[in-house]
């Protein structure tokens, strides 16, 4: 029999106890998975990630940072009606993200499905660069008639950010037509086999070559990681990245990160390890950005 978690865990992200006005980092959840086609359930991701966050010590031995000392606010979840369409979701999330921008915050999104990320990215200037970690290319113009489907994430990001300034990494699944369109348009794809063989070096050299001097938003679809490490997701795909690749990437780009997200965690297919990884990535990413900003 599996023992249950303590019932008295707070509902906010662990140690994110700064008020909104005094915070720099704002964690917020979007419980939306309406366009997911294979296995729904990522709408429960934010809650699972917050619960998992209480597993960790406030002090991180790897970064030497005490998360408790950082100006992090948990905004809770953006409320969406049951009937909310994908385009209404995008509109609502974009409005909130624009407010965070205006207030000078670093937004940290917990998903929810990947269709939420473009809504946040559209709140940033067009000069921002985007690195996406994802098993899937997600470059369809629409899917089943829906432009804001989670299979269209990179395409929707490219409505705002030029493809030259988008890097998609960890990919190992695409339709031939979308793959051809993406490569014809010059989208740079670093597949998971390349990362397996060469580590993060090809990502970092592409960052140097194409995104130098740019602010970077990092969007992490947890299915970029191999299902052996992160099984709790809607559309798992074998032969993925390992969690250490993401740490190395964050270490290398933290000085330019202006926000990030972790999406597609689906607790129904998890034994807790996927949510745990997501929560640790959130903590680690915030700690590294705070270090680079000289806050600790």
Q: Let me know if 225 is exposed, middle or buried by CB neighbors in 10 A (0-12, 13-18, 19+).
A: buried
Q: Return the number of the residue (136 or 288) whose C-beta is nearest Mn ion.
A: 136
Our measurement of the distance from residue 292's CA atom to the centroid of its chain's CA atoms, rounded to an integer in Å, reads 20
* DSSP SS3 for 291: helix
Q: Return the number of the residue (134 or 191) whose C-beta is nearest Mn ion.
A: 134
Strand partners, 265: 233
Name which of 24, 109, 35, 111 is nearest 72 in CA terms. Answer: 24
Minimum CB–partner distance for residue 235 and Mn ion (Å) = 6
The verdict on 15 binding Mn ion (CB under 5 A) reads no
Among positions 193-222, residues that touch Mn ion (CB under 5 A) are 221
Q: Which two tokens stand for residue 62?
A: 């790897």
Considering only 113, 134, 226, 270, the residue that binds Mn ion (CB under 5 A) is: 134
Minimum CB–partner distance for residue 282 and Mn ion (Å) = 18
Q: Return the number of the residue (74 or 223) whose C-beta is nearest Mn ion.
A: 223
Q: Return the number of the residue (149 or 200) whose C-beta is nearest Mn ion.
A: 149
d(CA 50, CA 10): 9
Q: Return the number of the residue (191 or 221) whose C-beta is nearest Mn ion.
A: 221
d(CA 122, CA 47): 25
Minimum CB–partner distance for residue 223 and Mn ion (Å) = 4
d(CA 158, CA 91): 17
The verdict on 113 binding Mn ion (CB under 5 A) reads no
The verdict on 44 binding Mn ion (CB under 5 A) reads no
The verdict on 136 binding Mn ion (CB under 5 A) reads yes
Residues 117, 152: contact at Cβ < 8 Å? Answer: no
Minimum CB–partner distance for residue 90 and Mn ion (Å) = 18
Among positions 223-242, residues that touch Mn ion (CB under 5 A) are 223
Residues at the contact surface with Mn ion, assessed by CB under 5 A = 134-136, 221, 223
């Amino acid at each position: 029999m599996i023992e249950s978690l303590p019932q008295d865990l707070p509902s906010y992200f662990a140690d994110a106890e700064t008020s909104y006005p005094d915070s720099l980092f704002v964690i917020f959840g979007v419980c939306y998975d309406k366009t997911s086609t294979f296995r729904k359930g990522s709408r429960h991701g934010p809650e699972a990630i917050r619960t998992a966050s209480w597993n960790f010590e406030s002090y991180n031995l790897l970064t030497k940072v005490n998360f408790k000392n950082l100006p992090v606010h948990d905004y809770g979840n953006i409320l969406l009606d049951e009937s909310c369409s994908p385009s209404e979701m995008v509109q609502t999330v974009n409005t909130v993200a624009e407010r965070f921008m205006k207030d000078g915050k670093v937004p940290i999104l917990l998903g929810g499905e990947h269709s939420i990320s473009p809504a946040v990215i559209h709140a940033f200037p067009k000069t921002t660069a985007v690195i996406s970690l994802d098993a899937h290319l997600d470059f369809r113009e629409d899917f089943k008639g829906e432009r804001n489907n989670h299979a269209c994430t990179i395409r929707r990001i490219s409505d705002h950010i030029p493809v030259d300034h988008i890097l998609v990494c960890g990919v190992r699944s695409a339709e031939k037509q979308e793959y051809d369109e993406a490569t014809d348009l010059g989208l740079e794809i670093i597949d998971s086999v390349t990362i397996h063989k060469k580590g993060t070096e090809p990502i970092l050299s592409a960052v140097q070559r194409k995104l130098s001097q740019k602010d970077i938003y990092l969007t992490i679809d947890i299915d970029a990681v191999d299902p052996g490490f992160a099984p709790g997701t809607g559309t798992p795909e074998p032969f993925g990245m390992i969690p250490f690749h993401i740490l190395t990437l964050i270490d290398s780009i933290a000085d330019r990160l202006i926000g990030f997200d972790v999406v597609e965690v689906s607790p129904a297919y998890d034994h807790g390890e996927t949510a745990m990884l997501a929560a640790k990535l959130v903590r680690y990413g915030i700690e590294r950005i705070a270090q680079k900003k000289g806050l600790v």
